[in-house]
Structures are given as C-alpha cells and as structure tokens.
Amino acid sequence: MSCVQPGRCTAVGGFVSQAGNDFVLVQEWNGASWRLLPITSPDPQFSALYGVSCPLATRCAAVGETGAQRTLAERWDGGAWRKLPTPSP
C-alpha cells in the first residue's frame, strides 16, 4: 500500500475467482471507503501485484508477477493502469 497523504491510499494484490482464475487487484482509499480501480489481468492462470509506490495521486507504479514467474509492472497515470514492458530472468 502507498499513501500520498492521509486519507489517499492505493493498495494492490490479487484474488482467485470461484472458477480458479487469478486476477490482479487495485483499490483506492479516499479516507472513508475503498473503491476498486479498473485493471486488466494479463494472465488468467496467475497474476498478482505485490507492491506499489505512488509519489503523486496521479502517478503510481506497481510490480508483481504473472504466469510461470514472469515479471509484471503496471503504471497508473491518474486515469488508467497500463502494463509496462519488463525483462524476465
């Protein structure tokens, strides 16, 4: 989780649907309640975000992994999350 100020936080993670598919998860805290932010999971077999850093409310970077331990990075620009190209060892 990363907070740009008290009452303004972003949290990332993942969840598994009842069908057994994994999805990335991003939520935003406004000081009173959480809301889901739209994000596309790149791999329904496995996707998770493990960390996020937000130096500004409109600038975040989140990292995790997707299928077969492939790296995953996403960038928030204040309007949408976009997958970033990353090398995988």
- For residue range 12-43, what is the model confidence (pLDDT) as tens digits? 999 888 888 888 999 999 999 999 999 988 87
CA distance 83 to 2: 19
pTM of the model: 0.86
Of residues 19 and 8, the one with the higher pLDDT is 8
Q: Is it the case that residue 89 has pLDDT exceeding 80?
A: no
Q: Which residues pair with 2 in a beta bridge?
A: 10
Using alpha carbons, select from 83, 56, 57 the residue that is nearest to residue 70.
Answer: 83
Q: How far apart are CA 30 and CA 33, in angstroms?
A: 6
Model confidence band, residue 72 (pLDDT cutoffs 50, 70, 90): very high
Are 9 and 32 in contact by the 8 Å Cβ rule? The answer is no
HSE-CB of 67 using CA atoms within 13 angstroms: 6
Rounded Cα distance, 55 and 52, in Å = 10
